[in-house]
Amino acid sequence: MENSAAMPAKGGVLKEVLSTPFVKDIIRSSLQSRKPDKSHPLVVALIWQDPEVILSILGSIPAIVNSCVGALGETGKQLNEKFSPELLRDYLGSIINDIDTEEFKVLADAYATMMKNLWEVSPELRETIGKTIMQEAPPLIGEGINAATKFINDVSKNDPRLVSKFVSDVVKNIDGEEFRDATHTIVNAVLDQKLHLFSWTWQLLRKRMKQKKQNYR
């Protein structure tokens, strides 16, 4: 006997549940009530009570990252299609102001130390990362540079002083010796390429002279 019952639309039940104002309030309240420092004791207990648990969790990170990246990508796509830039600007602006930057600093420091230690003791990791960088990173870096340069140009048009202040703040926190060695490596690699360096340099000098003339006025 054939099943004549109509199948629910994809995500139908979840869609109906999430459309309920009461459920929205519960989700919003639960997420906003989470404090970063409240999770620290749980992590400590997981690591020292049974290290196998945390290692199992770490082993599932690639699958979790893939799922999160896919979800974030689809979220961005839907936001671009469904919401106006003005609405996103106001809403995301308020979200960014509530983000705990200190926790981000702790996160960056912790994983930077971990990667440094792994890099020193693992030739296999160095080889894997090296191959990945050489094969997959160049196109991504190129696209990232294009997006970053467009963003910088747009910001500079709105407020020319903002970019200078940003660079100044960044430079204050740079390790001079490491930066010098890295820039020498990059410049040597660039000089090996057939780029229009003379025309680029001339355009840069012209812009600098034009900017100085405007500042003197």
Per-residue pLDDT of 177-190, as tens digits, reads 888 888 888 888 87
At which of 83, 99, 115 does a domain end?
A: 99
172, part of any domain: no
Q: Is residue 210 part of a domain?
A: no
pLDDT for res 208: 82
Share of the chain above pLDDT 70, in %: 72
The helix/strand/coil state of 22 is: helix
Q: Do 90 and 108 share a structural domain? A: no
Within-domain flag for 93: yes
88 and 112 co-located in one domain: no
Q: Is residue 17 part of a domain?
A: no
168 lies in some domain: no
| Residue 194 included in any domain | no
- Please state, in angstroms and rounded to a whole number, the distance separating the CA atoms of residues 98 and 28: 14
Among the ranges given (6-15, 114-123, 141-150, 180-189), the one the predictor scored with the smallest mean pLDDT:
6-15
The rounded distance, in Å, linking the Cα atoms of 25 and 152 is 38
In a domain, 29, yes or no: no
Q: Which of 110, 132, 160 represents a domain boundary (last residue)?
A: 160
Domain shared by 94 and 112, yes or no = no
Q: For position 43, what pLDDT does the model report? A: 66
The reply to whether 110 and 154 lie within a common domain is yes
Rounded average pLDDT over 30-40: 60
Q: Is the residue at 25 inside a domain?
A: no
C-beta of residue 125 within 8 angstroms of C-beta of residue 118: yes
Q: Single out the residue in 76, 99, 122 at which a domain terminates.
A: 99
- What is residue 210's DSSP assignment? H
Mean pLDDT of 45-58: 69
Domain containing residue 106: 100-160
Residue 37 pLDDT exceeds 70: no
Q: Round the average pLDDT of the chain to a whole number and report it.
A: 75
pLDDT of residue 4: 40
Q: Does one domain contain both 112 and 80?
A: no
Quick: pLDDT tens for 14-25. 666 667 776 667
Alpha carbon 55 to chain centroid distance? Answer: 25
33 or 94, higher pLDDT: 94
Between 200 and 154, residue with greater pLDDT:
154
Do 128 and 95 belong together in one domain?
no
Count Cβ atoms below 10 Å from residue 181 Cβ, excluding itself.
11
Number of C-beta neighbours around residue 104 at 10 A: 11
Average pLDDT over residues 39-43: 64
Position 136 confidence tier, pLDDT thresholds 50, 70, 90: confident
Same domain flag for 76 and 111: no
Q: Are residues 114 and 155 in the same domain?
A: yes
> Residue 35 pLDDT > 80, yes or no?
no
Specify the higher pLDDT residue, 95 or 117: 117
The yes-or-no verdict on residue 9 having pLDDT over 60 is no
Total domains in the chain come to 2
Least confident piece of the model among 6-15, 19-28, 62-71, 104-113: 6-15
